[in-house]
Structure 1
Amino acid sequence: MIKRLLVVESPGKVKKLSQILGSDWKVLASCGHIRELSNEGDDSLGFVMDGSNVRCNYIPRDQRAKETIQKLKSAVRQVDEVVLATDPDREGETIAWHLKETLGLREPKRVIYTEITASAVQSAIANPRKLDQNLIGAGLCRDCLDKLVGYKGSPLVWALNNGAKSVGRVQSATLHLICQRENEILAFVPQDYWSVWVDYAEGFRAFYKGTVDSAKDAAEQEPETHDDAKVGNSPETPESKRVLSEAEATRLVEEAQRHPHQVIHFEGKIVNRQPPPPFTTSSLQQAAGSKLRFAPDKTMIVAQKLYEAGLITYMRTDSVMLSPEFCASARKWLEQNDPPNVPSQVAKHRSSKSAQEAHEAIRPTDVFRPSVQLRLELPDDEFNLYVMIWKRSIASQCRAAQLRKTFVITQSGSLLWSARGQVIEFYGYARYWNNLSKDSVLPSLQQGQTLKLENAGHEQKQTQPPPRYSEPKLVQLMERKGIGRPSTYAPTVATLKKRNYVELKKDHLQPTALGLEVDAFLLKALPDLLEAEFTAKMEDALDAISEGKNSWQHYLTSWNQNYFVPALSKAKTVVASSPTGKAHVITERKYETSKTRCPECKNFLAKIPSSKVKKKYFLKCTKGCENVVLFWSDFNKTWQPPQAKTVQTENQQKPPVKMTAYPCPVCKKPLEEYSYIKEGQSKKMLRCCDPQSRKDTKHKDVAYFSTQKGWWSPKFGELNC
Structure 2
Amino acid sequence: MPKRLLVVESPGKVKKLSQILGSDWIVRASCGHIRELSNTGEDSLGFVIDDGSVKCNYVPRDQRSKETIQQLKAVSKQVDEVVLATDPDREGETIAWHLKEVLGLREPKRVIYSEITASAVRSAIANPRKLDSNLVGAGLCRDCLDKLVGYKGSPLVWALNNGAKSVGRVQSATLHLICQREREIVTFVPQDYWSVWVDYAEGFRAFYKGTANSPTDAPEPETETHDDAASNNTQAPESKRVLSEAEAIRLVEEARQHPHQVVHVEGKTVYRQPPPPFTTSTLQQAAGSKLKLAPDKTMVLAQKLYEAGLITYMRTDSVILSPEFCAAARKWLEEHDPQNVPQQVAKHRSAKTAQEAHEAIRPTDVFRPSVQLRQELPPEEFDLYVMIWKRAIASQCRAAQLGKTQIITQSNSLLWQARGQVVEFYGYARYWNNLSKDSVLPVVQQGQGLTLENANFEKKQTQPPPRYSEPKLVQLMERKGIGRPSTYAPTVATLKKRGYVQLTKGNLQPTTLGLEVDDFLQKALPDLLEAEFTAKMESALDAIAEGKQGWQQYLTTWNKNYFVPALAKAKTVFISPSTTKSSVAERKYDTSKTRCPECNNFLAKIPSSKVKKKYFLKCTSGCANIVLFWSDFSKSWQPPRTQETKSENHSPTPAKLSSYPCPVCKKPLEEYNYTKDGQNKTMLRCSAASRQDKKHKDVAFFSTAKGWWSPKFGELNPDGK
Q: TM-score, normalised by structure 2?
A: 0.85
Give the conservation status (yes or no) of the 8 Å contact 1:212–1:414.
yes
Q: 1:120 maps to which residue?
A: 120
Structure 2: distance between partners of 1:95 and 1:633:
50
Give the conservation status (yes or no) of the 8 Å contact 2:278–2:319.
yes
Give the conservation status (yes or no) of the 8 Å contact 2:8–2:28.
yes
Residues 611/351 of structure 1: CA separation in 2 closer, same or farther (3 Å cut)? closer
Structure 2: distance between partners of 1:101 and 1:633:
57
Q: 1:475 maps to which residue?
A: 474
Give the conservation status (yes or no) of the 8 Å contact 1:591–1:608.
no
Give the conservation status (yes or no) of the 8 Å contact 1:628–1:641.
no
Q: 2:540 maps to which residue?
A: 541
Residue type of the alignment partner of 2:110: R
Residues 583/258 of structure 1: CA separation in 2 closer, same or farther (3 Å cut)? closer
Residue type of the alignment partner of 1:192: D
Structure 2: distance between partners of 1:268 and 1:184:
40
Give the drift of 1:627: 8.5
Q: 1:321 maps to which residue?
A: 320
Residue type of the alignment partner of 1:592: Y
Give the drift of 1:408: 1.4
Q: 2:92 maps to which residue?
A: 92
With 463-472 and 622-631 compared, the bigger mean Cα shift is at 622-631
Three-state SS of the structure 1 residue aligned to 2:221 is coil
Residue type of the alignment partner of 1:69: I
Structure 2: distance between partners of 1:641 and 1:129:
68
Residues 255/611 of structure 1: CA separation in 2 closer, same or farther (3 Å cut)? same
Give the drift of 1:215: 4.0
Q: 2:203 maps to which residue?
A: 203
Give the conservation status (yes or no) of the 8 Å contact 1:598–1:628.
no
Residue type of the alignment partner of 2:3: K
String of CA shifts for 1:218-268, please: whole Å, max 9, x gaps: 653353011111122x42111111111111110111111111111111111
Q: 1:2 maps to which residue?
A: 2
Give the drift of 1:621: 3.6
String of CA shifts for 1:175-200, please: whole Å, max 9, x gaps: 00000011111111111111111111
Structure 2: distance between partners of 1:591 and 1:284:
35
Give the conservation status (yes or no) of the 8 Å contact 1:182–1:511.
yes
Matches for 1:616-655 after TM superposition, within 5 Å: 617=615, 619-626=617-624
Matches for 1:382-461 after TM superposition, within 5 Å: 382-461=381-460
Structure 1: distance between partners of 2:208 and 2:425:
32
Q: 1:606 maps to which residue?
A: 604
The question of 1:364 aligning with 2:363 is answered yes
Structure 2: distance between partners of 1:98 and 1:558:
25
Q: 1:52 maps to which residue?
A: 52
Q: 2:494 maps to which residue?
A: 495
Q: 1:674 maps to which residue?
A: none
The question of 1:273 aligning with 2:268 is answered no
Three-state SS of the structure 1 residue aligned to 2:556 is helix
Residues 79/612 of structure 1: CA separation in 2 closer, same or farther (3 Å cut)? closer
String of CA shifts for 1:283-332, please: whole Å, max 9, x gaps: 00011111111110010001000000000000000000000000000000
Give the drift of 1:211: 1.4
Give the conservation status (yes or no) of the 8 Å contact 2:175–2:495.
yes
Give the drift of 1:624: 2.4
Give the conservation status (yes or no) of the 8 Å contact 1:597–1:605.
yes
Structure 2: distance between partners of 1:614 and 1:319:
43
Matches for 1:452-601 after TM superposition, within 5 Å: 452-574=451-573, 576-578=574-576, 584-585=579-580, 587-589=582-584, 590-594=587-591
Three-state SS of the structure 1 residue aligned to 2:572 is helix
String of CA shifts for 1:82-105, please: whole Å, max 9, x gaps: 110000000000001111111110
Give the conservation status (yes or no) of the 8 Å contact 2:281–2:478.
yes
Structure 1: distance between partners of 2:82 and 2:617:
66
Give the drift of 1:354: 1.7
Give the drift of 1:535: 0.3
Structure 1: distance between partners of 2:550 and 2:491:
27
String of CA shifts for 1:54-101, please: whole Å, max 9, x gaps: 111111111111111111111111111111000000000000111111
With 270-279 and 445-454 compared, the bigger mean Cα shift is at 445-454
Structure 2: distance between partners of 1:116 and 1:397:
23
Residues 276/602 of structure 1: CA separation in 2 closer, same or farther (3 Å cut)? farther
Residues 198/604 of structure 1: CA separation in 2 closer, same or farther (3 Å cut)? farther
Q: 1:111 maps to which residue?
A: 111
With 602-611 and 472-481 compared, the bigger mean Cα shift is at 602-611
String of CA shifts for 1:676-697, please: whole Å, max 9, x gaps: xxxxxxxxxxxxxxxxxxx9x9
Aligned length, in residue pairs: 651
Structure 2: distance between partners of 1:432 and 1:505:
32
Give the conservation status (yes or no) of the 8 Å contact 2:89–2:356.
no
Give the drift of 1:608: 3.2
Give the drift of 1:602: 9.0
Give the conservation status (yes or no) of the 8 Å contact 1:321–1:357.
no
Residue type of the alignment partner of 1:624: G
String of CA shifts for 1:16-63, please: whole Å, max 9, x gaps: 101111111111111111111111111110111112111111111111
Give the drift of 1:626: 5.0
Give the conservation status (yes or no) of the 8 Å contact 1:94–1:140.
yes
Residues 255/411 of structure 1: CA separation in 2 closer, same or farther (3 Å cut)? same
Give the drift of 1:356: 3.8
Q: 1:12 maps to which residue?
A: 12
Q: 1:258 maps to which residue?
A: 257
Structure 2: distance between partners of 1:360 and 1:191:
48
Three-state SS of the structure 2 residue aligned to 1:456 is strand
Structure 2: distance between partners of 1:220 and 1:375:
43
Q: 1:374 maps to which residue?
A: 373
Residues 531/250 of structure 1: CA separation in 2 closer, same or farther (3 Å cut)? same
Three-state SS of the structure 1 residue aligned to 2:210 is strand
Residues 125/640 of structure 1: CA separation in 2 closer, same or farther (3 Å cut)? closer
Q: Structure 2: state its 5+ residue gaps.
A: 646-698, 708-721
Give the drift of 1:702: 5.4
Structure 1: distance between partners of 2:175 and 2:93:
29
String of CA shifts for 1:645-669, please: whole Å, max 9, x gaps: xx9xxxxxxxxxxxxxxxxxxxxxx
Three-state SS of the structure 2 residue aligned to 1:164 is coil
Structure 1: distance between partners of 2:45 and 2:262:
73
Give the conservation status (yes or no) of the 8 Å contact 2:525–2:570.
yes
Q: 1:675 maps to which residue?
A: none
Q: 2:718 maps to which residue?
A: none
Q: Between the two proteins, what is the percent identity of the paired residues?
A: 80
CA RMSD of aligned residues (A): 3.0
Three-state SS of the structure 2 residue aligned to 1:573 is coil
Structure 2: distance between partners of 1:263 and 1:619:
58
Residue type of the alignment partner of 1:348: K
Give the conservation status (yes or no) of the 8 Å contact 1:159–1:583.
no
Structure 2: distance between partners of 1:256 and 1:101:
81
Residues 35/339 of structure 1: CA separation in 2 closer, same or farther (3 Å cut)? same
Residue type of the alignment partner of 2:476: L
Give the conservation status (yes or no) of the 8 Å contact 1:209–1:215.
no
Structure 1: distance between partners of 2:549 and 2:566:
24
Q: 2:352 maps to which residue?
A: 353
Give the conservation status (yes or no) of the 8 Å contact 1:276–1:396.
yes
Residues 551/357 of structure 1: CA separation in 2 closer, same or farther (3 Å cut)? closer
Structure 2: distance between partners of 1:374 and 1:504:
33
Residues 257/603 of structure 1: CA separation in 2 closer, same or farther (3 Å cut)? farther
Residues 357/702 of structure 1: CA separation in 2 closer, same or farther (3 Å cut)? closer
Structure with bigger gyration radius: 1
Give the conservation status (yes or no) of the 8 Å contact 2:511–2:608.
no
Give the drift of 1:213: 2.2
Residue type of the alignment partner of 1:308: E
The question of 1:216 aligning with 2:216 is answered yes
Three-state SS of the structure 2 residue aligned to 1:402 is strand
String of CA shifts for 1:533-570, please: whole Å, max 9, x gaps: 00000000000000000000010000000000010001
With 250-259 and 623-632 compared, the bigger mean Cα shift is at 623-632
Residues 459/540 of structure 1: CA separation in 2 closer, same or farther (3 Å cut)? same
The question of 1:177 aligning with 2:177 is answered yes
